[in-house]
Amino acid sequence: MIEIIAATRNQGKLAEIRQALADLDVRIKGLDEFPDAPEVDEDGQTFLENAIKKARAISEFTGKHALADDSGLVVDALEGAPGVKSARFAGEGATDEMNNDKLIKELKKVPDAPRTARFVCVIVLASPDGNEVTTQGSCEGMILDRPRGHKGFGYDPLFYHPALDATFSEITREEKLKVSHRGQALRELKRKLATK
């Protein structure tokens, strides 16, 4: 069994990773089990740059395989914002609610713009020997003007998926993984690992 350290303290993200990779012979640990792990500054210009930086840093620190996911919401009316700054959209230490409130306020400034958006996810699995596997996924949707649902995390309450006729906060984790950006990237990771 391979031990993989997920480079996150986000329990919602960790649960999705564990669930998606549950049928592989791996054990997933989160950074909550490594209190001395470094806080990696996500200062890259792209999701890929941030994911690579986190995966390499955590693999080097732990001496184990490290899986880093950098993901975020790309809103067309906001010229791609919040993008790589999705977790910090309302400032350092912002809560999900604060980020969602800011998103609603920013979209009110462009009332006639289309509310199209996509979630984007890039995953990098770095091994101690320097090998890296990279995957990505994206999921198209619309941004609502008020939150709906109580499941999920991040921008899920505002992200409406037309095919499901629901926000990501109104569906189960299983349903979300079937269509989400992270679900796509994790399925691609499983395919790549199966051919190694």
Residues with catalytic function: 70
Find out whether 80 and 74 touch, Cβ atoms under 8 Å.
yes
User: How many CB atoms are located within 10 Å of the residue 151 CB?
Assistant: 17
AA letter at 48: L
Tokens 């003007």 — which residue? 145
Give the chain's radius of gyration (CA, Å): 17
What b/e string do you get for 80-116 counting C-beta neighbours within 10 Å, with b at 16 or more? ebbbbebbebbeeebebeebbebbeebbeeeeeeebe
Nearest alpha-carbon partner for 137 in 109, 102, 179:
179
Helix axes 181-194, 11-20, angle to 10 degrees: 40
Residues 6+ apart with CB under 8 A from 46: 84, 122
Tokens 């198209």 — which residue? 140
Tokens 């031990």 — which residue? 3
